[in-house]
Structure 1
Amino acid sequence: MRRLNHALAVLAVLGLAAGCSSAHGRADTASDTGDDTTKAGYAAGSPFWVDPESSAAQQARLWEQQDRDDDVELIRRIADRPAALWPPGETDPAPTVRAAASAASEEGKTAVFVAYNIPHRDCGQHSAGGSQDADAYREWIGQFADALGEAEALVVLEPDAVAHMVDGCTPGEYHAEREQLLSEAITRLKQQPNTKVYLDAGNADWIREPDKLVEPLRRVGIEQADGFALNVSNFQTDDETTEYGVRLAEALGGKHFVIDTSRNGNGPLPGVWCNPPGRALGTPPTTQTGERTLDAYLWIKRPGESDGDCEGGPDAGRWWPEYALELARNAKD
């Protein structure tokens, strides 16, 4: 089966994958694509799976029917490149995870996911929500992990969760439980034989001093993870984020990391973190980073999905074709 089942297609159309946000510059994927930017070549040679039923892919098919050739060419810059899947937090994630993992395995690819359902998620901002309580989260992450099976997978774990404890946004009474849940989640996901886990660690413009993240990351079990993730859903440049990541990696004893480059082609817009205008797609997903501890540039945020109800955008995680076109139009490649 090369195409996802109907349930996953519906999710892609509706844009139900959650986003994440923060007033500190967060808003709600790893491959080797080289420089080939032909339609068939965006993901050529990539070890990562491209979702054939993503919102961008469906938009491309719709515009093809409408003879919007220029827009189709632009949106293919998104549709034909690998991006992470954000399985639903409100329901059982297994159907989404299992379908993607199965499709990726059939193609000999690695599926990239984001696990984003920690209790008290996003401090009540645009992507507020998460599991009802600790037991519900344990059940959810267990369903997620079971559905991965033996497939090659990469999971970015809980954007914002650690940084929101460090900056004080998440109330102190929730910290001990969150640390325990994150530690358990890493352990559970790593029980799957071919799953890599990267724990989110915010971005370079949020927790400005990476040393402040070292002990919190250790408390939640970063040693058991494959590494940490930076710039998820944000716009900080590759150079700034890499420098920050190297410093944090050294402080963690050489831990590796990945960077979200999905929308950082023009860098950040000062003072605007939610759907900032004038942004661009960043470095296409690749494992050729030139930095020993930087495992990959990823498109973790799915380009074209809204950060939230701001700057004219729909709710967090909803597909916004006009914004997607702007990102692609402004991209350098």
Structure 2
Amino acid sequence: MPVPPAGQKFRHVLFSSLVALFAVAPLSVPTTTLDAAAAASPPGARPVASLTADNPLAGRHWGVYRGPLEHSWRAYRTASGAQRTQLAKIALRPKATWFGHWLRTDRVHKNVAEYVANSQHGDPEALVQMAVFALQPWEGEACDRLPSTAEQNTYKQWVDQVAAGIGQAHVALVLQPDAPFALCAPHGSDVFLDLMRYATERFAGQPNTSVYIEAGAADWLRDDVSKALKILLPAGIRSARGFALNSTHYDSTERQVRFAAAISQALAARGIPGKYAVVNTAQNGKPFTGYEYDGPNYDNARACADRDDARCVTLGIPPTTDVADPAWGLPSDAAAAASAYVDAYLWFGRPWLYNQAQGWDQQRALSIARSTPYPGP
């Protein structure tokens, strides 16, 4: 199957222009009850538990895709010895494969259906994870021009085909990583957000699909809840399970949890309660912010050399709904906030790819696997 084309590099000027300092209100954490943990999982998928209400990601096996779309699986299969052991830390984890415009509209239904079947391994109750990244233009180009009528129609047709491919599968779907680029549309247009709303409502209409609309990262938006709401409200958060944070950034899990709590509270204050977050932890094992980074290429920031290295990229908390586990080292108030407002820590980032988009980087993958402070599967 096709793989994504080269993505555009992160632009620090856009990072600066899309954020503003904002004081986050103190958290008020409601009491929640513990869901039962899942039964024993197949290889590569851990049992999961949750404290958030009626968490659709909890209490089921998490499928691990083992096919041609997944770069790490191909590398793992051909590796041996110590390298195979290290690559297992990536390949055998449940994670979200990205689906985008590089997959043709007349084939993406089949692509998605095959991905779902492969991920579930014969278990229709297994959770499948995916990210949808199909808006055109996007990234920096989204600040320069709006999609044509033809591009808008193609996007909607493509979304319809993806939804058909999902069918009744249990899916956690992250919608449009790097969504803050929608805020820099020319003339303040909402066309990107309108298209995201279409996708949110279409995917949420599937019987077992949980949609999480991407809202950037706490460091990207400088903890400014109002910026997040400018994405989530017009993008259809009322129809979604919740929102996603930290897709392409390396900011700390603790900070994302606090930001998630503030966003959820702000949504509830606007009459939209019960919205939960998923946080990408694939690449923030040694967290740092976008404005702390002083290297030449933020999208391909330096991989950690070893476990003692800092302000570098390495694998973070393994995918789980046990978001308040003491093993993650969160302060008690942040752990309580995670229990109340976060459905899961997921891996929907791709730090093992060059520029997070441009193909498998074997040495980078080995570096982030060797240096992670967290155990393998």
Please state which band the TM-score falls in when normalised by the shorter chain: 0.7 to 0.9
Superposition deviation, residue 77 in structure 1: 0.4
Superposition deviation, residue 176 in structure 1: 2.3
Query: Structure 1, residues 219-241: CA drift from partner, whole Å, max 9, x if none?
Result: 22111111000000221111111
1:271/1:265 CA distance change after superposition, 3 Å: same
1:321 maps to 2:362: yes
1:265 maps to 2:285: yes
Q: Which runs of 5+ in 1 are unaligned?
A: 1-6, 27-31, 309-315
**1:16 paired residue number:** 4
1:73/1:20 CA distance change after superposition, 3 Å: farther
Which letter does structure 2 place at the counterpart of 1:16? P
1:82/1:332 CA distance change after superposition, 3 Å: same
Which letter does structure 2 place at the counterpart of 1:245? A
1:41/1:110 CA distance change after superposition, 3 Å: closer
Superposition deviation, residue 201 in structure 1: 0.2
| 1:89-168 mapped onto 2 (5 Å cutoff) | 89-90=101-102, 91-92=104-105, 93-105=108-120, 106-107=122-123, 108-124=125-141, 133-161=151-179, 163-166=180-183, 168=184
Superposition deviation, residue 94 in structure 1: 2.0
Superposition deviation, residue 179 in structure 1: 2.1
- 1:251 pairs, out of 251, 266, 269, with 266
Superposition deviation, residue 22 in structure 1: 3.0
- d(CA) in 2 for partners of 1:55, 1:230: 23
Which letter does structure 2 place at the counterpart of 1:274? D
**1:234 paired residue number:** 249
**1:284 paired residue number:** 318
Larger displacement relative to structure 2 (95-104 or 134-143): 95-104
1:205 maps to 2:219: yes
- d(CA) in 1 for partners of 2:8, 2:85: 28
Q: Helix, strand or coil: the match of 2:136? A: coil
Query: Structure 1, residues 71-123: CA drift from partner, whole Å, max 9, x if none?
Result: 11101000110110112412232232111212334233111111101122112
- d(CA) in 1 for partners of 2:244, 2:62: 17
Contact residue 204 and residue 231 of structure 1 kept, 8 A: yes
Percent identical among aligned pairs is 26
Which letter does structure 1 place at the counterpart of 2:156? R
**1:87 paired residue number:** 99
Larger displacement relative to structure 2 (280-289 or 317-326): 317-326
**2:78 paired residue number:** 62
Superposition deviation, residue 210 in structure 1: 1.7
Superposition deviation, residue 262 in structure 1: 0.3
Q: Helix, strand or coil: the match of 2:299? A: coil
- d(CA) in 2 for partners of 1:210, 1:186: 20
| 1:40-55 mapped onto 2 (5 Å cutoff) | 42-45=44-47, 47-53=61-67, 54-55=70-71
The count of aligned residue pairs is 295
Higher radius of gyration, 1 or 2: 2
Contact residue 33 and residue 285 of structure 1 kept, 8 A: no
1:44/1:329 CA distance change after superposition, 3 Å: same
Larger displacement relative to structure 2 (254-263 or 103-112): 103-112
Superposition deviation, residue 42 in structure 1: 4.3
Which letter does structure 2 place at the counterpart of 1:199? I
TM-score (norm: length of structure 2): 0.72
1:303/1:160 CA distance change after superposition, 3 Å: closer
Superposition deviation, residue 181 in structure 1: 0.9
Contact residue 18 and residue 116 of structure 1 kept, 8 A: no
Superposition deviation, residue 293 in structure 1: 1.1
Q: Helix, strand or coil: the match of 2:355? A: coil
**1:311 paired residue number:** none
Contact residue 72 and residue 90 of structure 2 kept, 8 A: yes
| 1:19-38 mapped onto 2 (5 Å cutoff) | 22-24=10-12
**1:29 paired residue number:** none
- d(CA) in 1 for partners of 2:46, 2:214: 28
Q: Helix, strand or coil: the match of 1:156? A: strand
1:117/1:294 CA distance change after superposition, 3 Å: same
Which letter does structure 2 place at the counterpart of 1:22? F
Q: Helix, strand or coil: the match of 2:354? A: coil
Query: Structure 1, residues 27-49: CA drift from partner, whole Å, max 9, x if none?
Result: xxxxx999x9xxx8642335321
Query: Structure 1, residues 198-227: CA drift from partner, whole Å, max 9, x if none?
Result: 000000111111222224421221111110
Superposition deviation, residue 20 in structure 1: 6.9
- d(CA) in 2 for partners of 1:303, 1:60: 16
Contact residue 87 and residue 369 of structure 2 kept, 8 A: yes
1:187 maps to 2:189: no
Contact residue 320 and residue 346 of structure 2 kept, 8 A: yes
Contact residue 264 and residue 281 of structure 1 kept, 8 A: yes
Larger displacement relative to structure 2 (233-242 or 91-100): 91-100
- d(CA) in 1 for partners of 2:136, 2:4: 18
TM-score (norm: length of structure 1): 0.80
